[in-house]
């Protein structure tokens, strides 16, 4: 039986994408899908087969032309081509309806799972977030983003009007860990506000975004509204460097060192979400009734998607009142994770040797102890270019964290790893000083029913998305919430109307002064 996704899809994640039948991807440039002259192989993270061929794009001029043909005033704005707000709302409505089809939902979920292996529930959740985002901006949802305001002037006929204004030609460099959700929300947000984006997804997962864009075009999106480039990172850097004067904004999600390099190249014209060492503080108000739940939530936060979330729990500060009961529970829960259902799976950016090197270094910290994990997974065909490691936790004494070992202990391992730190009644100031020293303030959690304790921690910290209460987590927030770092003026946001406006538009003030001529007016004296 014909599936609805057959109307747009060019790859089949169920029966294709193998060494014998690899997916062959294309660039989108100037409104046309273009074959690559040469290709690079993407290796299947589960068996090592070359299952995707990505264009090894070397010719950059067409993409440069796509940037310069978009004016600074954008493809549309509140005073130009404003019918596009309605058009994009219709595209969102049709795309959301298509993604609500069970077969299309399964198509994208399986496609995600093939390139970024994680549990089926995690993959379906990513599709759901994307679909609901499109639903939220269906119809007049896009137009509402362009709402402005006005203030009366100093005399009749004068009015001050504020508008949300696009940047025009922009660039998006998307991460690998959410192959659909993050680039989809970033791309649509840029389009909503009137920009024309050039988008690059991570090579290992770019097939997901390519198929999503094909679906959007099927649902009515003008293929010339954006460009999609498949190329090595160094070529993308060359393109951005050569077009830095024409590019009005780059949104980047990824490693800190690349982010800082981009910020320098673009002379600060960037919006960043560049990693995070996310923390959770469990307060002193131990409640046995909540023990299993807090343990389960902490396991989810640390090890879902094998820890490959920028919102993953990297360090857990546990009050002495909880520690003896909680840590054994965490060990039990971690042991449930299995390659069979991909509740633990390949690590795409760290190899086992790199993971082991970091674990060994942390274990060399005086007083550090391996609590559980600490060994590679066995019984699989995951290639050596990827990691495959047990959910791991190491305890580090608070005093050693608050020492010359800080940089080592606070280094983010983008995989199934966390540091656990005990603290007592007299140690909260030390904990807060450590939170102050951390960088990249993305997500955090304060697990406590004590409002005064919550306020003390929240009032001394800056993380962009912070949870509090007994159900507090570091990842998995409700739909339609702001997601992005705080404490960095370059920080980008996704998800909400406010995040879209902040990231993808600037404020423009227009002073209307339409008379009438003041009665009896004459040229005044010089003042």
The 3-class secondary structure across 227-249, one letter per residue, is EECCCCHHHHHHHHHHCCCCCCE
In-domain check, residue 265? yes
Same domain membership, residue 192 and residue 58: yes
Confirm if 463 and 444 have CB atoms less than 8 A apart. yes
CB atoms under 10 Å from CB of 402, counted, come to: 17
Q: Are residues 346 and 379 in the same domain?
A: yes
Burial 406-418 (b: 16+ CB within 10 A, else e): eeebbebbbbbbb
Average pLDDT over residues 84-112: 98
305 Cβ contact list (under 8 Å, min separation 6):
116, 118, 119, 122, 177, 312, 345
pLDDT higher than 80, residue 385: yes
Confidence of residue 470 (pLDDT cuts 50, 70, 90): very high
- For residue 276, give the 3-state DSSP assignment: coil
Percent of the chain with pLDDT over 70: 100
CA 284 – CA 197 distance, rounded (Å): 48
pLDDT at 275 over 80: no
174 Cα distance to chain centroid: 8
Asked if 72 and 54 sit in the same domain, the reply is yes
Say if residue 297 is in the same domain as residue 256. no
Q: Are residues 464 and 501 in the same domain?
A: no
Question: Alpha-carbon distance 48 to 350, whole Å?
Answer: 16
* The pLDDT of residue 258: 87
Average pLDDT on 413-420 reads 96
Question: Which pair of structure tokens corresponds to residue 377?
Answer: 């997974």
DSSP letters spanning 38-86? SEEEEE-TTT--EEEEEE-----HHHHHHHHTS-TT-S-BTTBSTHHHH
Mean pLDDT within 136-165: 94
The predicted pLDDT at position 203 comes to: 93
For the annotated catalytic residues, the residue numbers are 273, 310
In what side-by-side order are the strands of the sheet with 50-55? 23-24, 50-55, 39-43
Average pLDDT score, the chain: 95
Per the structure block, which two tokens stand in for 123?
């993959």
Residue 265 has pLDDT above 80, yes or no: yes
Q: pLDDT band for 440, please (50, 70, 90 cuts).
A: confident
**Structure token pair of residue 521:** 């007016």
pLDDT for 99 equals 98
Q: What is the pLDDT of residue 439?
A: 84
Residues whose CB is less than 8 angstroms from the CB of residue 78 and which lie 6 or more positions away in sequence, other chains included: 146, 148, 163, 164, 165
Using DSSP's 3-state secondary structure scheme, residue 462 falls into: coil
Q: Is the pLDDT of residue 85 over 80?
A: yes
- pTM for the model: 0.95
273 pLDDT band, cuts 50/70/90, is confident
CATH number of 323's domain: 3.40.309.10
Q: Which residues is 24 bridged to in the sheet?
A: 53
**Does 493 score more than 80 pLDDT?**
yes
Cα–Cα distance for residue pair 128/133, rounded to 1 Å: 8
In angstroms, how far is the first alpha carbon of the chain from the final one? 82
pLDDT band at residue 1 under the 50/70/90 scheme: confident
Give the range of the structural domain holding residue 433, as residue numbers without chain letter: 278-468
Confidence tier at 32 by pLDDT (50, 70, 90)? very high
pLDDT of the residue at 170: 98
Nearest alpha-carbon partner for 410 in 499, 490, 317, 303: 317
In a domain, residue 391? The reply is: yes
Q: What is the pLDDT of residues 358-371, one digit of tens each?
A: 999 999 999 999 99
Q: pLDDT band for position 318 (50/70/90)?
A: very high
Q: What is the mean pLDDT of residues 264-281?
A: 89
Question: How distant is the alpha carbon of residue 40 from its chain centre?
Answer: 25
Does the structure show a pLDDT above 80 at 274? no
Distance CA 195, CA 234 (A): 25
Query: What is the tally of structural domains in the chain?
Result: 2
pLDDT at 276 over 80: no
Cβ pair 313, 305 in contact under 8 A: no
Same domain, 237 and 285: no
The answer on 16 and 161 residing in a single domain is yes
44, 166: one domain: yes
Q: Is residue 334 part of a domain?
A: yes
CA dist., res. 181 & res. 415, Å (int): 19
| Torsion angles phi and psi, residue 420, rounded to 5 | -115, 130
Q: Under 8 Å CB-to-CB from 267, ≥6 apart: which residues?
A: 244
125 in a domain, yes or no? yes
Structure tokens at 405: 């070992």
Give the lowest-confidence range in 352-356, 419-423, 476-480.
Answer: 476-480
Q: Would you say residue 46 lies in a domain?
A: yes
Name the residue with higher pLDDT: 76 or 233: 76
Q: Are residues 61 and 176 in the same domain?
A: yes
Residue 186 lies in a domain: yes
Could you tell me the CA-to-CA distances from 20 to 6, 49, 76, 240 in Å, in that order?
21, 9, 45, 35
Burial class (CB in 10 A: 0-12, 13-18, 19+), 190: buried
At 481, the pLDDT band (50, 70, 90 cuts) reads confident
- Model pLDDT, residue 314: 97
pLDDT above 90: residue 192 = yes
């Amino acid at each position: 039986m014909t599936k609805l996704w057959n109307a747009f899809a060019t790859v089949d994640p169920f029966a294709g994408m193998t060494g014998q039948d690899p997916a062959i991807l294309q660039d989108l440039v100037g409104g046309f899908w273009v074959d690559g002259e040469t290709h690079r192989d993407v290796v299947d993270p589960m068996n090592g087969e070359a299952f995707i061929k990505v264009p090894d794009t070397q010719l950059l001029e067409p993409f440069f032309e796509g940037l310069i043909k978009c004016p600074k005033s954008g493809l549309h704005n509140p005073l130009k081509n404003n019918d596009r707000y309605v058009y994009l709302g219709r595209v969102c409505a049709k795309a959301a309806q298509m993604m609500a089809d069970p077969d299309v939902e399964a198509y994208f979920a399986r496609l995600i799972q093939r390139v970024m292996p994680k549990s089926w529930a995690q993959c379906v959740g990513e599709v759901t977030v994307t679909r609901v985002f499109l639903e939220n901006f269906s119809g007049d949802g896009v137009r509402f983003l362009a709402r402005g305001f006005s203030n009366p002037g100093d005399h009749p006929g004068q009015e001050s009007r504020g508008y949300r204004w696009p940047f025009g030609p922009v660039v998006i460099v998307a991460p690998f860990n959410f192959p659909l959700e993050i680039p989809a929300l970033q791309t649509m947000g840029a389009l909503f506000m009137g920009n024309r984006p050039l988008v690059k997804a991570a090579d290992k997962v770019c097939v997901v975004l390519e198929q999503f864009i094909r679906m959007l075009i099927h649902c009515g999106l003008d293929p010339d509204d954006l460009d999609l480039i498949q190329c090595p990172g160094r070529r993308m850097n060359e393109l951005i460097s050569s077009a830095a004067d024409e590019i009005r904004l780059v949104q980047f999600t990824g490693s800190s060192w690349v982010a800082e390099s981009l910020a320098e190249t673009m002379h600060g014209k960037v919006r960043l979400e560049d990693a995070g060492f996310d923390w959770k503080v469990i307060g002193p108000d131990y409640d046995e009734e909540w023990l299993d739940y807090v343990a389960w939530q902490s396991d989810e936060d640390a090890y879902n998607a094998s820890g490959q979330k920028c919102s993953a729990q990297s360090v857990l500060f546990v009050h002495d009142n909880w520690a003896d009961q909680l840590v054994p529970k965490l060990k039990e829960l971690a042991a449930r994770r299995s390659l069979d259902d991909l509740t633990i799976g390949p690590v795409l950016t760290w190899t086992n040797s790199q993971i082991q090197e970091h674990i060994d270094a942390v274990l060399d910290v005086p007083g550090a102890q391996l609590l559980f994990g600490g060994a590679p997974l066995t019984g699989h065909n995951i290639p050596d270019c990827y990691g495959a490691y047990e959910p791991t936790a190491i305890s580090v004494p608070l005093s050693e964290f608050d020492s010359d070992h800080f940089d080592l202990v606070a280094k983010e391992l983008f995989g199934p790893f966390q540091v656990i730190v005990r603290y007592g009644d007299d140690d909260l100031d030390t904990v807060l000083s450590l939170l102050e020293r951390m960088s990249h303030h993305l997500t955090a959690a304060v697990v406590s029913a004590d409002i005064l304790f919550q306020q003390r921690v929240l009032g001394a910290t800056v993380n962009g998305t912070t949870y509090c209460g007994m159900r507090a987590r570091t990842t998995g927030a409700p739909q339609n919430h702001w997601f992005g770092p705080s404490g960095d003026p370059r920080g980008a946001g996704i998800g909400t109307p406010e995040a879209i406006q902040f990231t993808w538009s600037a404020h423009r003030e227009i002073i209307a002064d339409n008379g009438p001529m003041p009665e009896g007016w004459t040229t005044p004296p010089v003042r």
